[in-house]
Amino acid sequence: MQYQSGFANHFESEAVAGSLPQGQNSPKKPLQGLYPEQLSGSAFTVDRSKNLRSWLYRIRPSVVHQPYESYEHQTWNSLVAHSEETNPQQLRWKPLPEPKKNLDFIDGVFTMAATQEKPGVAVHHYLCNQGMGKKFFYNADGELILIPSQGALQIQTEMGVLEIEPQEIAVIPRGIKFQINPKQAGWCRGYLGENTGAPLTLPSLGPLGANALANPRDFLYPVADYHEGQGDYQVVVKFSHSFWQMPLKHHPLDVVAWHGNYAPYKYDLRKFNTMGTVSYDHPDPSIYTVLTSPSFSPGVANLDFVIFPPRWLVGENTFRPPYYHRNIMSEYMGLIHGVYDAKQEGFVPGGASLHNCMSAHGPDAETFAKAIENSESPQKIEDTMAFMFETCHIYHPTHLALSSSALDRDYWGCWQNLKSYFNKG
C-alpha cells in the first residue's frame, strides 16, 4: 500500500501523469478532460488554520446522478428517539454476535448511543460479512471514525484506498464517498464513531512540548486511485439523520487526481507515544487523547478519542489501576484487543461500557483487592488496547441497545463486593 504522511498536510496526488493542474485549481480547459470539483470540509471563511478543502479532478462531476430516493436503515439511529429510557445506570454490553445473514458494512451499523445535542456524537458498532458490491456511501451529518476489533478492512474512497486492521483506525470526513469491504474471508466487527461537531484534530500538547502522544507524521493518507466502470451503482447517503440513496450509471470513485487537506486518513494506535507518571499518582486520562473535536467552550471536547495502550506502570506508593471517579464528561468505552486493566472479566474485545455524566465507576472489587497488595516494582501492561469516546454531552442509549441480548444486566454487581477496609486504628 502506498500512502502520503502528515496530519492535515496539503497533499497532491495523481493516478495518471499530468492530470493535476499546476499553478491553479480550475483551468479553462480541464487537463485530460477531467472535471475540477472542490469539496469543502469547512466554511470558506474559517480561520486558515482550520480551513479544510480539497480539489478533485474526476471523470464526471458528482452532480451526475439520478434523483435521491429514501433508503431504509433498520439499526442506524443517531436521533435516539427513545431518550425517555435514559437513566444514570452504568451499562455494559457483550460483543454483538456473528451475523446470521449477509450483511455489508453500511447495513451492519448498529447504533448504541447518541447525544441529543447536534452537533454531538453517535456511537455505533458494526458487523459485516460481505463486500458492498456496487453500493457506496457518504455521510453529510458528520465524520466517521472506524475502529476495527476483528477483521481487516479495505476502504475505497474518492481520494484512494486505505487498509486497516485491529489496533489501527481510519477517519472518513463528512461528504467523502467510500465503500468498505472485508479484506479477507470471514466476518468483521468493530466500532464506529460519528462526530457531527468540529472535525477531529490533534490535541494541544501544552507543557509536554512539541513531541508526544500521536505524532503527526504517523497519520497516513491515500494516493489517487480511480475507477471507470459503467453500470447500476448506488450511493447511500446519511443526511439530516435520515437515509437516502442516489442511483447512478457510472462508478462514483472516479477521481483521477486530487490536492488539498480534506481527505480520509489512517493511524496505527500502536505508534502512540504514551505519557504517564514517573513519580506517583495517575495523570488524568486526557494524557491518552489521540484526536479531539473541540466544542465552542475552550478546553471542553465535543468528542475526545482516547486510548489505553500498552504502558509501564511505575508510580510509587500509588494505586495503579484507574482511580474511582465521577466525571462531568460522559464516557463510552470499547476494547479493541486484550484485557483492560480496571476489570478482571466481563469487558472483552468487541464489548462496550457506558458511564454517563456523574455516574460513579472504577475498578471492580477483584482488581482493587489485587492492586492494594501489588509490589512496588515496575509493571508493564502488555497486549491491550482499549479506547474511549468522551463527550461533554449525555449519551442516550438506543432502544435497540437497551433491549439487546448483548446488554450485561449484572454489570452493577462487579462493584458490590467492594468491602469496607475502614479502620479507626
Q: Find the shortest distance in angstroms from Cβ 139 to Fe ion.
A: 28
Cα separation, 411 vs 239, whole angstroms: 36
Residue closer to Fe ion (CB basis): 81 or 358: 358
State which of positions 211-230 bind Fe ion (CB under 5 A).
none
Q: Count CB atoms within 10 A of the CB of residue 106.
A: 21
3-state secondary structure at position 325: strand
**Rg of the Cα trace of the chain?**
23
Which is nearer to Fe ion, 124 or 343 (by Cβ)?
Answer: 343
**Minimum separation from the CB atom of position 333 to Fe ion (A):** 8
Gap between the Cα atoms of 311 and 323, Å rounded: 17
List binders of Fe ion among 331-360 (CB under 5 A).
Answer: 331
Instruction: Kindly determine how many residues on this chain lie close enough to bind Fe ion according to the rule CB under 5 A.
Output: 1
Is 282 a known active-site residue? yes
Name which of 40 and 286 has its Cβ closer to Fe ion. Answer: 286
Beta strand 330-338 pairing with 379-381: unpaired
Helices (H), strands (E): how many in the chain?
2, 28
Q: Using the minimum distance from each CB to Fe ion, give the nearer residue, 19 or 356.
A: 356
- 299 by Cβ neighbours in 10 Å (0-12 / 13-18 / 19+) ranks as exposed
Query: Are the C-beta atoms of 200 and 145 separated by less than 8 Å?
Result: yes
Q: How far is the CB of 322 from Fe ion (least distance, A)?
A: 7
Residue of minimal Cβ distance to Fe ion = 331
In 3D, which of 307, 306, 343 has the Cα closest to residue 94? 343
Catalytic residue among 73, 251, 282, 399: 282
* Least distance from Fe ion to the Cβ atom of residue 357, Å: 11
Nearer to Fe ion, 357 or 400 (CB): 357
As to burial, measured by CB atoms within 10 angstroms (0-12 exposed, 13-18 middle, 19+ buried), residue 63 is exposed
Measured from the CB of residue 418, what is the shortest distance to Fe ion in angstroms? 16
Q: Which positions from 278 through 337 interact with Fe ion, judged by CB under 5 A?
A: 331
Residue 250, helix vs strand vs coil: strand
List residues near Fe ion by CB under 5 A.
331
- Residue numbers annotated as active site: 282
